[in-house]
């Protein structure tokens, strides 16, 4: 009987850079599952504000460690939970694909994978500041169009159930960027009906600014902490640049090419690749 696989692909990068799309793409190329490495997407609430993968975006690819925590819980057992998912996926002869940019969960998980004898290959996504800012601002605008305020109002109603001492922006789902920024617009019964457009606009601007600041902190963390860790532990990695929408398609092809020499041929399903990108394996 063939022994379980040991390979793992890890996609890491700042918010809004395109990790989700690349994760789904590679999961289809290698007929595998995605494990979300995100400290906020693990909550059952706040799908929009945490930018969880939608059913249409997932396109049939299974995503693990999403939607499993109550609003006030913390992902204390995340590393072990992720290792359990890795084991399950590898026992099915597949390559787990880790996707996320969490600065608190990524290194502990990668370290645990290596300590458990796994062969990890990291794909780091980078993006020029102005382009990343544009992508973030566009994402926030789309969230607003899709009903972000209503979702945040629902999170506000959960405060009465979970937070006895009132709002706490350092706990649970309420840590998500967007909740604190829009808090002046919210009430326990929903969105404040007396809101002025100017107030909403200020909250939108604040969410965009704080999201950009967080993305920059993720990039700094990659340079100052992640790369030194990868080098120290001898974990192979490649760094790919995302510059625009068309560029992400090129990144998908480049990422596939980078993975192929690392992985055993048994994982590469040519018939699936053909419908995704005829260039990826050439």
Start and end residues for every CATH 3.40.50.300 domain found in the chain: 7-128+222-276
pLDDT recorded at residue 191: 74
For residue 48, give both structure tokens.
Answer: 């929009």
- Across 21-155, the runs of DSSP E, i.e. the strands, are 34-36, 63-64, 97-99, 119-126
Q: Distance between terminal CA atoms of the chain?
A: 32
- Across 148-236, the runs of DSSP E, i.e. the strands, are 186-187, 190-191
- Of 28, 26, 208, 202, give the one whose Cα is nearest residue 99: 26
pLDDT > 50? residue 93: yes
pLDDT > 80? residue 236: yes
Report CA-CA distances (Å) from 110 to 40, 102, 203, 208. Answer: 18, 12, 36, 30
Q: Which fold has domain 7-128+222-276?
A: Rossmann fold (3.40.50)
pLDDT > 80? residue 20: yes
Percent above pLDDT 70 for the chain: 89
Please state, in angstroms and rounded to a whole number, the distance separating the CA atoms of residues 243 and 163.
42
How would you classify the pairing of strands 97-99 and 34-36?
parallel
Helix/strand number for the chain, H first, E second: 11, 8
Q: Which residue has the tokens 């009906």?
A: 193
Angle between helices 148-162 and 129-145 in degrees, nearest 10: 80
Question: How confident is the model over 162-189, as pLDDT tens digits?
Answer: 887 778 899 999 999 999 999 988 876 6
- Of 233, 236, 245, give the one whose Cα is nearest residue 134: 245
Question: How confident is the model over 34-90, as pLDDT tens digits?
Answer: 999 999 999 999 999 999 999 999 999 999 999 999 999 999 999 999 999 999 999
Please state, in angstroms and rounded to a whole number, the distance separating the CA atoms of residues 173 and 155.
8
Three-state secondary structure call for residue 51:
coil
pLDDT > 80? residue 272: no
Q: Which residue has the tokens 């793409």?
A: 25
pLDDT recorded at residue 269: 52
Which of 198-202, 209-213, 239-243, 259-263 has the weakest average pLDDT? 259-263
- What is the average per-residue pLDDT within 152-160? 89
Instruction: Enter the pTM of the model.
Output: 0.91
Please state, in angstroms and rounded to a whole number, the distance separating the CA atoms of residues 36 and 184.
31
Question: How confident is the model over 7-17, as pLDDT tens digits?
Answer: 999 999 999 99
pLDDT > 60? residue 254: yes
Per-residue confidence band for 263, with pLDDT thresholds at 50, 70 and 90: confident
Please state, in angstroms and rounded to a whole number, the distance separating the CA atoms of residues 271 and 261.
19
pLDDT > 90? residue 130: yes
Specify burial of residue 182 (Cβ count, 10 A radius: 0-12, 13-18, 19+): buried
- Mean per-residue pLDDT of the chain: 90
pLDDT recorded at residue 49: 98
């Amino acid at each position: 009987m063939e022994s379980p696989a040991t390979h793992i692909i890890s996609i890491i990068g700042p918010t809004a850079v395109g990790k989700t799309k690349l994760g789904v793409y590679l999961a289809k190329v290698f007929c595998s599952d995605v494990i979300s490495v995100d400290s906020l997407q693990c909550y059952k609430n706040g799908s929009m504000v945490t930018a969880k993968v939608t059913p249409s975006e997932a396109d049939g690819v299974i995503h693990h460690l999403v939607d499993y925590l109550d609003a006030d819980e913390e992902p204390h057992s995340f590393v072990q939970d992720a290792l359990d998912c890795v084991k399950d996926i590898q026992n099915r002869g597949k390559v787990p694909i880790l996707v996320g940019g969490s600065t608190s969960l990524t290194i502990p998980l990668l370290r645990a994978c290596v300590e458990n004898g796994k062969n990890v290959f990291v794909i780091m996504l980078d993006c020029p500041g102005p382009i990343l800012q544009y992508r973030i601002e566009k994402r926030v605008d789309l969230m607003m169009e899709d009903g972000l305020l209503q979702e945040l109002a629902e999170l506000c109603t959960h405060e009465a159930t979970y937070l006895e001492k009132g709002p706490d922006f350092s706990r649970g789902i309420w840590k998500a960027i967007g909740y604190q920024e829009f808090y002046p617009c919210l009430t326990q019964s929903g969105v404040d009906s007396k809101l002025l457009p100017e107030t909403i606009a200020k909250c939108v601007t604040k969410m965009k600014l704080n999201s950009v600041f967080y993305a920059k902190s993720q990039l700094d963390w990659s340079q100052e902490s992640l790369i030194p860790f990868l080098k120290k532990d001898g974990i192979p990695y490649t760094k790919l640049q995302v510059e625009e929408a068309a560029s992400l398609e090129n990144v998908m092809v480049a990422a596939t090419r980078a993975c192929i020499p690392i992985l055993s041929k048994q994982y590469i399903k040519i018939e699936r690749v053909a419908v995704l990108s005829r260039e990826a394996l050439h």
